[in-house]
Amino acid sequence: MYEFTQFYIDGAWVDPVKPNTVPVENPATEETIGHISLGSAADVDKAVAAARNAFESWSQTSREERLTVMRAILSEIGKRKEDLARAVSDEMGAPMSLANGPHVGLLSGHLQTTIGILENFEFERQDGPTMHRYEPIGVVGMITPWNWPLNQIACKVFPALATGCTMVLKPSEIAPLDAAIFAEIMHAAGVPAGVFNLINGDGPGVGTAISGHTDIDMVSFTGSTRAGIAIAENAAKTVKRVAQELGGKSPNIILDDGAFAKSVARGTTAMMNNSGQTCTAPSRMLVPAKRMDEAKVAAKEAAEGVIPGDPKGNSTIGPVVSGAQWDKIQGLIEKGISEGATLVAGGTGKPDGLETGHYVKPTVFADVDNDMTIAREEIFGPVLSIIGYEDYDDAIRIANDTEYGLASHIAGEDIETAKKLAPRIRAGRVAINGAYDMNAAFGGYKKSGNGREWGEFGFHDFLEVKAVMGYDA
């Protein structure tokens, strides 16, 4: 049983101002596996005061001092990998292969990338007689989601540390266990008191207090577009910077070439990864209309090869994170059927033999029109929509016909065509044949947010630019 009923504030574990203990559920078993406390505005005040006090010294540390701390964090992560993976699997139902691999791997991977960038980052740049200085923005409020919890902590905490900021982190109350272990890692690594603070809580109780706090200089949020809008509205009163990584409905353009069947199969499998709970998931597969029947065959075979089941066993995917999420997904699958899409694989209800746990059948719809609900809304489950296009101009039109613009995908053997199509897609990322790069900028166009994370681009949101004129008169 996990018991994390205290908050990490000013270098110590402290009781909440007002006790409010809630259970944490394992979505694979629907059993309570631990407890956390939900914080309040009073807890946020304490954490922000600690971060504000620590900023005076941490912001003045040298590059080497910060590197020493960050290398110590990397060492401590190595000691707690198994604990982190087990927590992620228990709290969100990720198969252990996924928890041990990408979930924990992204945490250390982002830190290694951040260390490499910090070693050479130019915090001063002379332009003629003017010195431009990049200085830490101050105290950062961080609100992270449950679907890739360690990844999103890493994307915010590590560049903030590297640039000299201090912070207050609110992880998702649905999947909070990994964040508590992360706080233990930060403490063991010797991160100075007040630099990193952790408060558990929900949006109304803690998220609102963070986004509107007068002594927080920036809010970095990852989550739904709906919540992002509310946070931006609340933050506007204090004119703080707001960086947001929000929803997505990513197109996956399958090229009309010899790799068609392979590309469809790969795209279907990718959609199901992490039980479809990925904001960049290739949820709208665009195929040549004349090859729709081929796509149905390849996608059906791929989907039927995805095995939902016990995260501690040999399953391909686990459950979705909660009963509320399961209900939402079921409603959208029903909507796809009622609006006339062709159900190729999966459907409503739980997979055979998995009555306990929030399991969803890997589901594929074909003959989808881009105006259907399943093509417009972010389902956040293992549900793929296949849409037909007439030619590449039509594919680009459909790809861009969405309020989102977080990511996009192009698959096929004709790389030159892919390179020509990529600049025409209105999204923050284009992945050709599943390419992946830890240094690549991450963030969205349109209602998918603003600002960028990952690599060197992730430093800039945490920095202010100061011009010192007459520096070299």
pLDDT at 472: 82
- The structure's pTM equals 0.96
Rounded Cα distance between 158 and 148, Å, is: 16
Which residue among the candidates 76, 279, 378, 453 is catalytic per the annotation? 279
Q: Is-catalytic flag, 155?
A: no
Rounded Cα distance between 102 and 334, Å, is: 32
Which residue among the candidates 25, 76, 245, 453 is catalytic per the annotation? 245
CATH number of 251-437: 3.40.309.10
Number of Cβ atoms within 10 Å of the Cβ of 87: 29
**Are the C-beta atoms of 109 and 115 separated by less than 8 Å?**
no
pLDDT at 471: 87
Strands 31-37 and 218-222: unpaired
Q: Where in the chain do CATH 3.40.605.10 domains reside?
A: 2-246+448-468
pLDDT at 473: 66
Q: What is the 3-state secondary structure (H, E, C) of 61-119?
A: CCHHHHHHHHHHHHHHHHHCHHHHHHHHHHHHCCCHHHHHHHHHHHHHHHHHHHHHHHC
Strands 31-37 and 363-368: unpaired
Q: Where in the chain do CATH 3.40.309.10 domains reside?
A: 251-437
Q: Which two tokens stand for residue 170?
A: 């609110």
Q: What is the 3-state secondary structure (H, E, C) of 6-48?
A: CEEECCEEECCCCCCEEEEEECCCCEEEEEEECCCHHHHHHHH
Q: What is the largest CA-CA distance in the chain?
A: 77
**Are the C-beta atoms of 228 and 221 separated by less than 8 Å?**
yes
One pLDDT digit (tens) per residue for the chain, 473 residues: 999 999 999 999 999 999 999 999 999 999 999 999 999 999 999 999 999 999 999 999 999 999 999 999 999 999 999 999 999 999 999 999 999 999 999 999 999 999 999 999 999 999 999 999 999 999 999 999 999 999 999 999 999 999 999 999 999 999 999 999 999 999 999 999 999 999 999 999 999 999 999 999 999 999 999 999 999 999 999 999 999 999 999 999 999 999 999 999 999 999 999 999 999 999 999 999 999 999 999 999 999 999 999 999 999 999 999 999 999 999 999 999 999 999 999 999 999 999 999 999 999 999 999 999 999 999 999 999 999 999 999 999 999 999 999 999 999 999 999 999 999 999 999 999 999 999 999 999 999 999 999 999 999 999 999 999 998 86
Comparing C-alpha atoms, which of 154, 172, 164, 62 is closest to residue 114?
154
Question: What CATH architecture is 2-246+448-468?
Answer: 3-Layer(aba) Sandwich (3.40)
pLDDT at 28: 98
Question: DSSP secondary structure string, 171-224?
Answer: --SSS-HHHHHHHHHHHHTTPPTTTEEE----IIIIIHHHHT-TT--EEEEES-
* Residues ≥6 apart with Cβ < 8 Å to 188: 76, 79
Rounded Cα distance between 344 and 105, Å, is: 34
Give me the residue label for tokens 């990322």.
429
Position 72: which residue type? A
**Are the C-beta atoms of 452 and 441 separated by less than 8 Å?**
yes
Rounded Cα distance between 454 and 114, Å, is: 8
**Are the C-beta atoms of 95 and 103 separated by less than 8 Å?**
no
Position 211: which residue type? S
* Residues ≥6 apart with Cβ < 8 Å to 357: 27, 28, 29, 30, 93, 318, 319, 350
